[in-house]
């Protein structure tokens, strides 16, 4: 059944392909001459790459402040940057790095025009809704995972017993431009590549089976899943230096961002919020370790509730795509999906949740705090707890 009523959010400009980074200066100059450039630790250490970017910005008469970002994006990092650069006449914010760097830059661009603490506007934390005003924002991903370069929200976290992981969201917060250059991911370490790749896959699958999916998001996801099949394991193992493998995953991540921005996500990302607020577990690790068991639990619940549920057909179709097995039987397609995810997680260097301090004693509270989001069927707290327990 087609969802005939939908809207679609996307960046005004997407540039994709090797060498795209060389167009950063001309894109940035179209927004102004004063920029704040956020960069990841790896970018700061890559003198040759960074020097080339700095020269390109200077060539286009752009004066910039460089801000190095380490670790998960937090309200404190955003508030500090807004205080420091709020009166610097910043006309463009540029983020060059992984999802954490891009999320931080997105939040800074959103808060520079209004000032004040960003927590006032976080979903479930602050009482206000962000008005959508921002400084123009350019996203340049150096990993292939979160799809933040194409989404309209940014996730900030404060880790601890009373921690949280919440979104700052408005349709206007989608980047003004996304420059996706697969060459920037060539030096990405295998564990990061694996976790990011599984994050992208999780976002594709959850958006695909979401009740909010549309013909547009379905078509996009179906264009990206073959890239995951061909490139995910290779990009994180023996094909790490192959630009074609990196390009395939960069495309999958970009599409996952477009898909999640328009169709939403499911219970794995609900767990990413509840787990990520309490433990310093990388977002991609949560997704990579839990998507298999979450899909298995969801499929079982759907089969019990309604064996003809449309989401089962989609799970089966996704299974046929990622396994390369042509099958008309829904049960066979779902089995192929779960089997392929299992093969991937065994082949990839993904740590278990217990390595980050997650214990059996903490699971019950985590499950109770986890929302199903746009999962095609609601899972109980007990079912959610079993998903986490299986990966300790």
Q: Of the residues 151, 185, 219, which one is the last residue of a structural domain?
A: 185
Query: Is 199 a domain residue?
Result: yes
Please check whether residues 127 and 230 belong to one and the same domain. no
Backbone angles phi, psi at 69, to 5 degrees: -115, 130
- Name the residue among 198, 257, 268, 259 with its Cα closest to residue 231: 198
Q: Residue 44 has what pLDDT?
A: 86
CB 267 within 8 Å of CB 384: yes
Query: Is 226 a domain residue?
Result: yes
Can you list the positions of beta strands (E) in the chain? 14-16, 34-40, 63-69, 92-97, 137-141, 153-158, 164-169, 177-180
- Find the CATH number of the domain harbouring 203: 1.20.1090.10
Backbone angles phi, psi at 38, to 5 degrees: -90, 135
Please check whether residues 266 and 197 belong to one and the same domain. yes
Query: Is 232 a domain residue?
Result: yes
Please check whether residues 75 and 134 belong to one and the same domain. yes
Please check whether residues 124 and 166 belong to one and the same domain. yes
- Find the CATH number of the domain harbouring 153: 3.40.50.1970
Please check whether residues 112 and 139 belong to one and the same domain. yes
Please check whether residues 257 and 228 belong to one and the same domain. yes
Number of structural domains found in the chain: 2
Q: Residue 1 has what pLDDT?
A: 47
Please check whether residues 181 and 314 belong to one and the same domain. no
Please check whether residues 204 and 165 belong to one and the same domain. no
Query: Is 242 a domain residue?
Result: yes
Q: Of the residues 150, 185, 220, which one is the last residue of a structural domain?
A: 185
Structure tokens at 221: 């996801």
Q: Residue 161 has what pLDDT?
A: 82
Query: Is 374 a domain residue?
Result: yes
Query: Is 224 a domain residue?
Result: yes
The pairing of beta strand 164-169 with beta strand 177-180: unpaired
Give 10-residue mean pLDDT values along the chain (392 residues). Answer: 74 96 98 97 89 97 96 95 97 97 98 96 90 98 97 93 91 97 96 98 98 96 98 97 98 98 97 93 96 98 97 98 91 97 96 95 95 97 97 92
User: Which domain covers residue 75, as residue numbers?
Assistant: 14-185
Query: Is 312 a domain residue?
Result: yes
CB 146 within 8 Å of CB 254: no
**Residues whose CB falls within 8 Å of the CB of residue 294, separated by 6 or more in sequence, listed in order:** 266, 267, 268, 271, 387
């Amino acid at each position: 059944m087609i969802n005939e009523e939908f809207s679609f959010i996307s960046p005004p400009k997407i540039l994709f392909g090797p060498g795209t980074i060389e167009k950063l200066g001309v894109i940035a100059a179209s927004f102004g001459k004063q920029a704040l450039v956020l960069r990841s630790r790896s970018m700061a250490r890559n003198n040759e790459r960074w020097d080339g970017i700095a020269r390109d910005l200077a060539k286009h008469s752009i004066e910039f402040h460089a801000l190095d970002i380490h670790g998960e994006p937090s309200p404190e990092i955003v508030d500090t940057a807004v205080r420091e650069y709020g009166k610097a006449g910043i006309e463009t914010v540029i983020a060059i790095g992984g999802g954490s760097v891009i999320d931080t830059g997105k939040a800074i661009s959103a808060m520079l025009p209004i000032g004040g603490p960003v927590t006032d506007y976080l979903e479930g934390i602050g009482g206000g809704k962000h008005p959508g005003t921002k400084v123009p924002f350019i996203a340049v991903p150096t990993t292939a995972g979160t799809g933040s370069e194409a989404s309209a929200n940014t996730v900030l976290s404060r880790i601890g017993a009373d921690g949280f992981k919440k979104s700052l969201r408005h349709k206007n917060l989608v980047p003004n431009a996304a420059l996706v250059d697969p060459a920037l991911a060539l030096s990405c370490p295998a564990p990061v590549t694996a976790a990011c790749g599984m994050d992208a896959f999780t976002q594709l699958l959850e958006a695909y089976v979401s009740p909010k999916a549309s013909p547009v998001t379905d078509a996009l996801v179906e264009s990206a899943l073959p890239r995951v099949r061909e490139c995910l394991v290779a990009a994180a193992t023996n094909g790490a230096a192959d630009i074609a493998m990196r390009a395939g995953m960069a495309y999958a991540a970009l599409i996952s961002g477009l898909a999640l921005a328009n169709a939403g996500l499911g219970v794995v990302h609900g767990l990413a919020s509840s787990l990520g607020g309490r433990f310093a577990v990388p977002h991609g690790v949560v997704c990579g370790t839990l998507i298999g068991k979450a899909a298995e639990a969801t499929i079982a619940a759907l089969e019990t509730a309604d064996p003809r549920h449309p989401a089962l057909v989609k799970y089966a179709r996704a299974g046929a795509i990622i396994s390369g097995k042509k099958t008309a039987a829904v049960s066979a397609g779902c089995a192929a999906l779960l089997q392929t995810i299992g093969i991937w997680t065994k082949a990839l260097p993904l740590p278990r949740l217990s390595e980050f301090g997650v214990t059996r004693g903490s699971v019950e509270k985590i499950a109770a705090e986890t929302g199903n989001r746009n999962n095609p069927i609601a899972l109980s707290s007990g079912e959610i707890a079993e998903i986490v327990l299986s990966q300790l």
